[in-house]
Amino acid sequence: MTTQVLRFIRRGEIVTLADVPPTRTLLEVLREDLHCTGTKEGCNEGDCGACTVVVGEEVNGQLQTKAVNSCIKMAHSLDGKALWTVEDIAADDGCLHPAQEAMVQCHGSQCGFCTPGFVMSLFGLYQQHAHAGQPITRADAQHALSGNLCRCTGYRPILDAAQTMLGLPAVPVDEAKTLSKLKQLAQIPRGLEADLAYKSPTTLPALLAARAKHPQAQIVAGCTDVGLWVNKMHMDFPQVLDVTQVAELRRVEHYRHHIAVGAAVTLTDAFAALVADRPQLGAFASRFAGLPVRNAGTLGGNVANGSPIGDSMPLLIALGANVVLMALRKGKVTHRELRLEDLYTGYRKNVMAPDEVLAWIKVPKAVPAERSRVYKISKRFEDDISAVCLALNLHIVDGQVVHASVGVGGVAATPVRARKTEAALTGEAWTADTVMTAMATLRGEFSPISDMRASSAYRTEVLGNLLQRYWLESQGLAAVNLESFVLEGEAA
Ligand SMILES: Cc1cc2nc3c(=O)[nH]c(=O)nc-3n(C[C@H](O)[C@H](O)[C@H](O)COP(=O)(O)OP(=O)(O)OC[C@H]3O[C@@H](n4cnc5c(N)ncnc54)[C@H](O)[C@@H]3O)c2cc1C
Ligand code: FES
Ligand code: FES
């Protein structure tokens, strides 16, 4: 099976590459095929940020740019887009981009291995702030660099560079030219889409038809899980079906009682929609991986992957989310809707038929009586996966729990609903005694495993503690937590 010719914009010109295998990563293409070795390979699994590049596409007539990890991005997912690497951002006369110059001036580099990745995350941040005309705060810088690790310099000079770069002479990206090139690229006719090894349909009917015809093809979205299977488990997929260009699945739709998030909406945009409705989820959203992973990974990918320690599912279960699965059967589009927790049948197993795709995640909107919170316990604050995650959504009316919805991660083979705990809370007075009983129920409801992230006993203990924390917070106790610390440089 062949692949389409891969075409993207770089340095204002169209790059054309033939015969790129379906699971070849963008980093491999850059370093091995194009011999552009400025972009580094560190971990090759999305963790260190050394391979960060910026990808641009046209969204509603504007150029939208995002920093992503090239090591776990399939090269073909770049088709029709624009790319900037660390080798592409200095001016033609060699004048450094402010993101580079600020790193020099602030002494943000020592061995330099991480530096191209930091520079590209800074470039992504620069693009956003140069547009908005707003200064870069310490928190903005920390947020933008949450997916980059440095072993030698220390972060202070790099954060200083982030806050310095807007004040340096600008080296602007020619957005009008990039947009016009992207348009030009979109108009170049494509070959016949018969049995391509990398298929990237742009409409839902086309996706469903492709899935019906190729049920064995590996579905990919942001590839932040699948990329690791390719790089670390050496899995090879002869045929790949990419859902990220399907226009319908890239939308967030707002209805009276719920928000419908298309399966291909990135985690960045999906969490933005959820946080707009429930601002208290903001801190949790920023603890999901780091920014480049959230910029590439999708909510649908997290849900479909169904990892027992995946972060969005406990929250979505507690909020009462449903999923919509779609297929094309006998020429007709079928769909079925089920509660999220009913999607899973076992460790990374779900009810999806070979011809089905996950299309929508429907999340009920916040109601006045609700008190929803989600707690993530992980070894690192950012860019780390949960050992335990507890999400609670209680409706408390006149001191009584009238509705209890509890989602848990890290305690079973799948993300789960804590039904016994819900029963122990529902209809009860919202008192310390009720909470103590529910804590015991919650601790007894699951038998978590011990692994490198946490022991079984720790998981069990901390689960009850998190419910107690929810209770204490509901009583007005201001918790001292990591989010309450003021960042260096932010106080004055
Ligand atoms: C450094 C790093 C940090 C991470 N941190 C976290 C974290 O903090 N919390 C967390 O939960 N996860 C984390 N992850 C895991 C990953 O980012 C998420 O699971 C992400 O949401 C996966 O989405 P994706 O679009 O990249 O999925 P992909 O990798 O493209 O796909 C994942 C699976 O979903 C299937 N799939 C995708 N879309 C569909 C669809 N529409 N229909 C049917 N099947 C589909 C694919 O076939 C595949 O089996 C991290 C990953 C990395 C690399
Ligand atoms: S090489 Fe480490 S994130 Fe890509
Ligand atoms: S400068 Fe050496 S790893 Fe960052």
Domain boundaries of the chain, sorted by first residue: 6-184, 198-364, 371-474
| Stretch 445-468: mean pLDDT | 95
Instruction: Indicate which ligand has the atom closest to the C-alpha of 154.
Output: 3
Predicted local distance difference test score (pLDDT) of residue 382:
81
Atom of ligand 3 nearest to the CA of 112: 1
| Stretch 308-312: mean pLDDT | 96
Topology (CATH) of 198-364: 3.30.465
Cα 316 to Cα 122: distance, rounded to the nearest angstrom: 32
| Stretch 464-486: mean pLDDT | 84
- What is the per-residue pLDDT across 96-116, written as a single tens digit (0 to 9) for each? 999 999 999 999 999 999 999
Most informative mutation of 25, 26, 43, 231 for ligand 2 (most atoms within 8 A of CB): 43
Domain covering 371-474 assigned CATH 3.20.20.140 in the classification: no
Is the predicted pLDDT of residue 263 greater than 70, yes or no? yes
Closest residue CA from atom 11 of ligand 1? 310
416 lines ligand 1 (CB under 6 A): no
The answer to whether domain 6-184 and domain 198-364 are alike in fold is no
Position 133 confidence tier, pLDDT thresholds 50, 70, 90? confident
CATH of domain 6-184: 3.10.20.30
Position 477 confidence tier, pLDDT thresholds 50, 70, 90? confident
- What is the per-residue pLDDT across 403-423, written as a single tens digit (0 to 9) for each? 999 999 999 999 999 999 999
